[in-house]
Structure 1
């Protein structure tokens, strides 16, 4: 009888891992599948493809805003209920995206989708943490992380194929059957774990932080066109004031959302700031590259998606040697040098022309993917490697939020710069993209000054690279 009970427990644990892994896959796939579909969406909605960044920004910004509350919500309402809510919101948001007839409707639907996406991995990871013995947790999370690598690999190509042979609506409709199966499986197999006495939620701190992130991202993304320069300036001031107010609030609150004491850890503070500014460029490239291939070089959606494969494959290959490189050269040398290399590779995309050989373009994409992967591994492990048990959970959540915020602000920045250059160059799309790639590359190179502050002796990466936002 005990053997039957143990076998049943093992079976439920395996199903739980698949549930969380599929949720992670849905989240990461949807963050990348949409990029190759943006020009087709723009045509269907009567919009310019150069002004579609709000579709990407709304999703990642929503995730950034909700991530800080995800752990408390799971503790308060239980993992099963919150995971079902996450899948339900994500699936309903996907349906609403496919039914959208105007850009504003699509943006609102992406916000709904982002609400679900923000909960999928944190709640799923918490369920795994509280179900598996500590000795098995690392192996379990390694299994869950595999779909997070496959999602970005398949996303651009699958998105291009669906657009070319069906319609852009299927980029979202493919989530529906997966979501329905996930709801049924969650109801049956997900354990309903929760904290016995969840602490009091820092609501004021959360509101201040949310206003700050939303204000700054919206000011960058569309204030200049929709609200005018004065409106963008007001949004930026409100956002910055809210961030400052949160810092002052956290310094005196007994249990803040994120303690200011975290920033006493030098590697964390440098890593977070470096992540934020370096990822402005890295977050912009998955948006800019497929768009430029289709708009300025006349690639089909399928061809644009296939061109992204060398980037993803080279990135996965670099993971195998990244730790050895960091151990050999140290974090500061790797991050300062590699940041400059990535910035120069971004600028090299400005050299693209219709007559460029395809093999040379593939080499360029592979190099960018490899060095970008090394950058993420170094930044991610540096940020969290010196946190102790008491601060690891809070630091990890803060890091997740910064990752998603940087993605949102990176796409917002790229969209704003691209829009400005497209107005300057008129109907000539290629010069606008070339100038945007140069700008994004220079911004990335500037972040190398932040990484110069890394202690020279730091050179011990964690065995497992922490990336809870599902990016690299």
Structure 2
């Protein structure tokens, strides 16, 4: 039985995760009104989103060292305070530079808030309780990108854009009050010297990669500059990996990726986040721009992703306990592949009930798979390696979520030329057909990652599991 206090910590982190993910996507709906209010071009509002995502991605690796230096409780409380106060700063901003500066501060708070909160939950958690606690934390990340367009549309229709940020104030105050009561102080460790070279290389590489995603999603793209940014980010990240492997006290100990279950979660889970983030972005565009649906009708159908996410939650833990991580991941990623491929074939004449069923099934698949990936990541991690494993997992997932829209945009743009090779005559929906087929192939690649996992992967966190033969070495059982 999970301790009530520990469960409340997981729910608190889940609420913080929801705030962070909502803020990453909700601004898109209000971009035209924000542009008019700030007297800038609509395209410039993209920096309001990008500055937040870049700060998130670049500073998460620093969270582990900060908790060593100051302790998890002060860092977590400080992160909530910074996120909440910067939200107020965003709401009262009257110029674009000030708004972007406040968004950077928001990203700073978010980069510490969720990873450190998750570390609080993971620390001291029994392996048998890990699955249920991670299920609490994962679902807000699935829900926020789906409900953000609806919430953003409602706020901009019946209020004004500053309320996109003002809604964080009461949420942040409540989160801070709860955290103050239930998050305990932990003994301070002797921090290792800050790895400044690793910090610069890692943050610069992650920042460049996230900015490249913004460049590729821009309507007025410079392919030369965007490609150069991608190549620069790859070079910086390669240099960072080389440094982190060689230095005595690295910013993040990436040697923990030798653990097969963590490695499978980081690679497969990150790819899956790309597919998960693409759906809520592409589906409304398809429904409104090609099918001619209203925003309300489109939003109502896309909401079935959320219905699937929440509806399957009570069954996720029993499924993993009964069948194990590998079979569940294979099945759920295959369902995601099949539904994504099927969505590529729908048209304005397709029954709305069938479309809703496909969207619902995709929501179920993404919920099960991401819960499984997020849990199996820590199933074989030793307590002394949990901080590094958490930083790597959080960073990879956040970067993938930030890249999702850029990948979707590139797939959509490639859909035009590639659509000429499909049977039939190209039309307005052909680019979307190709984009969803490309995402289906990406999802199939995630299935290949799951197939390579050992059948007993994550056995230690399952409540009901088959005995593992003693003759098998621990490295194989992982």
Q: After TM superposition, is the score higher than 0.5? A: yes
Further displaced range: 360-369 or 377-386? 377-386
**Contact 1:36–1:304, Cα closer than 8 Å, also in 2:** no
Residue of structure 2 in register with 1:276 after alignment: 270
1:1-33, CA deviations, whole angstroms, 9 ceiling, x for partnerless residues?
xxxxxxxxx9xx97x987884564143144147
Residue of structure 2 in register with 1:341 after alignment: 335
Further displaced range: 415-424 or 69-78? 415-424
1:54-113, CA deviations, whole angstroms, 9 ceiling, x for partnerless residues?
655543443232222113223323445433432333224424544567887766544332
Matches within 5 A, 1:138-217: 146=136, 149=139, 153=143, 155-156=147-148, 157-180=150-173, 193=186, 195-217=188-210
Residue of structure 1 in register with 2:473 after alignment: none
What is the CA–CA distance in structure 2 between the aligned matches of 1:158 and 1:253, rounded to whole Å?
46
Q: CA RMSD in A?
A: 4.2
Residue of structure 1 in register with 2:35 after alignment: 45
Question: What is the DSSP-based 3-state SS (H/G/I as helix, E as strand, rest coil) of the residue aligned with 1:384?
Answer: coil
**Contact 2:309–2:367, Cα closer than 8 Å, also in 1:** yes
What is the CA–CA distance in structure 2 between the aligned matches of 1:450 and 1:51, rounded to whole Å?
39
Q: Aligned-pair distance for 1:329?
A: 5.2
**Contact 2:127–2:461, Cα closer than 8 Å, also in 1:** no
Identify if the C-alpha distance between structure 1 residues 404 and 232 changes in structure 2 by more than 3 Å, giving closer, same or farther.
Answer: same
Q: Which runs of 5+ in 2 are unaligned?
A: 420-426, 464-478
2:17 to 8, 14, 27: 27
**Contact 1:262–1:395, Cα closer than 8 Å, also in 2:** yes
Q: Aligned-pair distance for 1:140?
A: 11
What is the CA–CA distance in structure 2 between the aligned matches of 1:50 and 1:434, rounded to whole Å?
26
TM-score, normalised by the number of residues in structure 1: 0.77
Residue of structure 2 in register with 1:320 after alignment: 314
Identify if the C-alpha distance between structure 1 residues 84 and 304 changes in structure 2 by more than 3 Å, giving closer, same or farther.
Answer: farther
Question: What is the DSSP-based 3-state SS (H/G/I as helix, E as strand, rest coil) of the residue aligned with 2:380?
Answer: coil
Residue of structure 2 in register with 1:470 after alignment: none
1:311 to 299, 305, 310: 305
Question: What is the DSSP-based 3-state SS (H/G/I as helix, E as strand, rest coil) of the residue aligned with 1:258?
Answer: coil
**Contact 1:381–1:461, Cα closer than 8 Å, also in 2:** no
1:367-403, CA deviations, whole angstroms, 9 ceiling, x for partnerless residues?
0111112211332233322222332332122111111
Residue of structure 2 in register with 1:441 after alignment: 440
1:267 to 226, 251, 261: 261
**Contact 2:131–2:317, Cα closer than 8 Å, also in 1:** no
What is the CA–CA distance in structure 2 between the aligned matches of 1:461 and 1:304, rounded to whole Å?
43
Q: Aligned-pair distance for 1:334?
A: 3.9
What is the CA–CA distance in structure 1 between the aligned matches of 2:43 and 2:279, rounded to whole Å?
14
Identify if the C-alpha distance between structure 1 residues 325 and 265 changes in structure 2 by more than 3 Å, giving closer, same or farther.
Answer: same
TM-score, normalised by the number of residues in structure 2: 0.76
Question: What is the DSSP-based 3-state SS (H/G/I as helix, E as strand, rest coil) of the residue aligned with 1:222?
Answer: helix
Residue of structure 2 in register with 1:365 after alignment: 359
1:69 matched to 2:62? The reply is yes
Number of positions where the alignment pairs a residue of Structure 1 with one of Structure 2 = 447
Q: Aligned-pair distance for 1:127?
A: 5.7
Q: Aligned-pair distance for 1:174?
A: 0.8
